[in-house]
Chains A and B, each alone.
Chain A
């Protein structure tokens, strides 16, 4: 027993001794640089834009904004003139090619607040599409999936006050 213990301790001592030696070596500096390259960055490139709509008076309005930026209105009128083009949100992912990452989008409801007011509207049913994947797949690879789009559904109650509404939603990616 005693012999085995000594042997194990000797191995450990070697390992500890080797570590500072590596750190002091110029090659180790290169290693640190390689780690910096692996840093993954996430940037927002396009804001989510629902455009301009008006309630038709037929009931609660819903505006589904697809990951392709196409809107599907229900009980809403979408003006063709004086409107802005709807757009799904787009995010860019950069880092070492081949790095796998997973996108997290809100699973519940996010509020939009009227500019200069306190009225709110709910945005829910967030959806995601990675560049090379079919919609709904949340795990991608840098190189093939350097961007992803996010859509959502806006619900407009029948008595909602008119005006411009804005808000924000959190998006994050996790990676190894």
Chain B
């Protein structure tokens, strides 16, 4: 009998402590789209130039047209707008950020430099549309080269780099 008594009181203590639990699973979902990537397919190339006595400017439009001011003579040689192939989400819009300050092109010997400024592109306001079929788009970039006379800028091969940022719009 004493044994039963002990059991009974244990049960009474346990009842107020009874505690229930219920659970479910929540689902989660995210879609990670392709980031914008870009490949340079054409160098921004001002071509072969003779600055003559006063120098001047050489402008290349995003469409690849080359014009000059000052005493510059443009040689009949290869020149091109900068060209990039962009890959991204099909039908998305890609915009670019161009250099806002003059960029330097340095003579191979390092003793002279010219500057390139006023970068422009053929990206429409609102962004370049990435094609639906292959997820790509082409973007062209032009700029203006500032060159002094032949004394200040001796003959040679001038090179430099410029940074373009591609992003979804």
- Which residues of A line the B interface, CB within 8 A? 8-9, 12, 15-16, 40-44, 47-57, 63, 77, 79, 81-82, 84, 89, 91, 104, 110, 112, 121, 123, 150, 152, 154, 156, 160-176
Q: Pull 19 A–B residue pairs with CB atoms less than 8 Å apart, ordered by A.
A: A12-B4, A43-B24, A47-B27, A48-B26, A52-B30, A52-B33, A54-B32, A54-B33, A77-B168, A81-B91, A82-B91, A84-B31, A89-B26, A91-B24, A112-B29, A152-B28, A163-B32, A174-B19, A176-B18
B93 to chain A: closest residue by CB: A81
Cβ proximity bits B21-54 to A, threshold 8 Å, 1 near / 0 not: 1111111111111111000000000000000000
| A106 CB, min distance to chain B CBs, angstroms | 10
A contact residues around B25 at 8 Å (CB)? 44, 168-171
Q: Are A164 and B22 in contact, CB atoms less than 8 angstroms apart?
A: no
A110 to chain B: closest residue by CB: B28
Q: Are A56 and B167 in contact, CB atoms less than 8 angstroms apart?
A: yes
Q: Are A44 and B24 in contact, CB atoms less than 8 angstroms apart?
A: yes
Q: Are A44 and B26 in contact, CB atoms less than 8 angstroms apart?
A: yes
Q: Are A164 and B31 in contact, CB atoms less than 8 angstroms apart?
A: yes
B contact residues around A154 at 8 Å (CB)? 30
B8 to chain A: closest residue by CB: A12
Q: Are A169 and B28 in contact, CB atoms less than 8 angstroms apart?
A: yes
CA distance in complex: A41, B19 (Å):
14
Q: In the A-B complex, list the 8 residue pairs whose CB atoms are closest, starting with the nearest.
A: A172-B23, A50-B30, A54-B33, A77-B168, A52-B31, A47-B27, A48-B28, A89-B26
| A54 CB, min distance to chain B CBs, angstroms | 4
CA distance in complex: A132, B36 (Å):
43
A contact residues around B28 at 8 Å (CB)? 47-50, 89, 110, 112, 123, 152, 166-169
B9 to chain A: closest residue by CB: A12
Q: Are A50 and B21 in contact, CB atoms less than 8 angstroms apart?
A: no
| B5 sits at the interface (CB 8 A) | yes
- Which residues of B line the A interface, CB within 8 A? 1, 4-5, 8, 18-36, 88-89, 91-92, 167-168
In this complex, the member of A47, A54, A173, A176 whose beta carbon has the largest number of chain B beta carbons within 10 angstroms is A54
B contact residues around A50 at 8 Å (CB)? 28-30
| A120 CB, min distance to chain B CBs, angstroms | 12
B contact residues around A77 at 8 Å (CB)? 35, 167-168
| A83 CB, min distance to chain B CBs, angstroms | 8
| A41 CB, min distance to chain B CBs, angstroms | 7
CA distance in complex: A81, B22 (Å):
39
| B120 CB, min distance to chain A CBs, angstroms | 23
Q: Are B30 and A165 in contact, CB atoms less than 8 angstroms apart?
A: yes
CA distance in complex: A175, B19 (Å):
6
CA distance in complex: A44, B80 (Å):
60
- Choose one: B1, B21, B35; the contact of A54 (CB below 8 Å): B35
A160 to chain B: closest residue by CB: B32
Q: Are B23 and A49 in contact, CB atoms less than 8 angstroms apart?
A: no
Q: Are B31 and A175 in contact, CB atoms less than 8 angstroms apart?
A: no
Q: Are A150 and B26 in contact, CB atoms less than 8 angstroms apart?
A: yes
CA distance in complex: A56, B48 (Å):
37
Q: Are B32 and A42 in contact, CB atoms less than 8 angstroms apart?
A: no
Q: Are A79 and B89 in contact, CB atoms less than 8 angstroms apart?
A: yes
- Choose one: B5, B19, B92; the contact of A176 (CB below 8 Å): B19
